[in-house]
Amino acid sequence: MSFQSAKHASGSSNREAKGFLFLIFILITPFLLQYGYRYLFYTPQQPDLSTIQLLTDSCESTATDGPYTKYSKEGKSTKWKKPLATKDTRRGKQKMVDLNTADSSALEALPGIGPAFAKRIIKYRTLLGGYVKAEQLKEVYGMPEETYVKIKPLCTLSIAAVKKIPGDSLWLLPYKFYHPYLSKELKAAIVQKKKTPYDADVLRVLLKSSDERLEWYLVY
């Protein structure tokens, strides 16, 4: 190869190399301009404090919401509070009370019955010799009708605990006995008949003209 041919080949290679470099420069120039612009003119964006506060409040609300939190249609949460137990709300779980064996504490568990009424119920039970029917609670001094209606379904009666009055003993000694259903008039009528031997049928006739409820407590 002559000197001129070698020089011509070398010049051609240089032009190709320069052309290749120029092509690469053209290709990377947009990227250089883009990143250079961002570097020179980029301004850090300040955080939105209102958004941060909103997220913080939301997290706190979620953390404090318990298993009994209710949500309204507007999305507001309201705390559920357990209602205070009262005698009326406990009625479904309340045990039945035997009027003839219950003490004051058991009677006070009934709705509307306090210490005063409990004592009156026991006192009248003693005078009667025991309750035969729940309706007799109406005869307790000062018993309100609404209170009676509430406690009647909660009361039971052990009839075996009721004290009975022997009919023949009443016939012989009418003034020895005291009972709310035994009136003075009935005692006087028995005295008038006492000269004759005891007769259960005669005593029944006398009761019909007096208070027939006494028959609940008589043993003929």
For the residues of 9-73, what is the DSSP string, one character each? HHHHHHHHHHHHHHHHHHHHHHHHHHHHHHHHH--PPPP-HHHHHHHHHHHHHHHH--TTEEE-T
Is the residue at 203 inside a domain? yes
Quick: pLDDT tens for 23-40: 777 777 776 667 665 656
The DSSP letter of residue 123 is H
* Same domain, residue pair 169 and 156: no
Asked if 100 and 152 sit in the same domain, the reply is: yes
User: Domain check: are 153 and 170 in the same one?
Assistant: no
Q: Of 161, 178, 205, which one is at a domain's C-terminal end? A: 161
Quickly tell me which residue has 């137990």 as its tokens.
85
Render pLDDT for 160-215 as a digit per residue (tens, 0 to 9): 999 999 999 999 999 999 999 999 999 999 999 878 899 999 999 999 889 999 99
Task: Determine, yes or no, domain membership for 47.
Answer: no
6 domain residue, yes or no? no
Domain, as residue range, for 186: 165-219
- Do 180 and 204 lie in one domain? The reply is yes
pLDDT recorded at residue 178: 93
Residue type, 92: G
Mean pLDDT lowest among 81-85, 132-136, 168-172: 81-85
> Which of 78-92, 107-121, 162-176 has the weakest average pLDDT?
78-92
Question: How much is the pTM?
Answer: 0.58
Let me know if residue 10 belongs to a domain: no
Is 68 part of a structural domain of the chain?
no
How many domains is the chain partitioned into structurally?
Answer: 2
Least confident of 4-18, 54-68, 204-218: 54-68
Examine the domain organization and report whether 111 and 153 are in the same domain: yes
- Non-local (6+) Cβ contacts of 184 within 8 A are none
**Domain closes at, from 112, 144, 161:** 161
| Letter string b/e over residues 67-83, b meaning 16 or more CB atoms within 10 A of that residue's CB | eeeeeeeeeeeeeeeee
Q: Are residues 146 and 179 in the same domain?
A: no
- Which of 111, 134, 161 is the last residue before a domain boundary? 161
Do 107 and 136 have their domain in common? yes
Q: What is the pLDDT of residue 102?
A: 97
Is 133 domain-assigned? yes
Which element (helix H / strand E) includes 7?
helix 3-41
The pLDDT value given to residue 21: 77
Residues 122 and 157 in one domain: yes
Q: Confirm whether 119 is domain-assigned.
A: yes
123-143 average pLDDT score: 97
26 is a domain residue: no
Distances (CA, A) of 30 to 23, 38, 40, 174: 13, 12, 15, 129
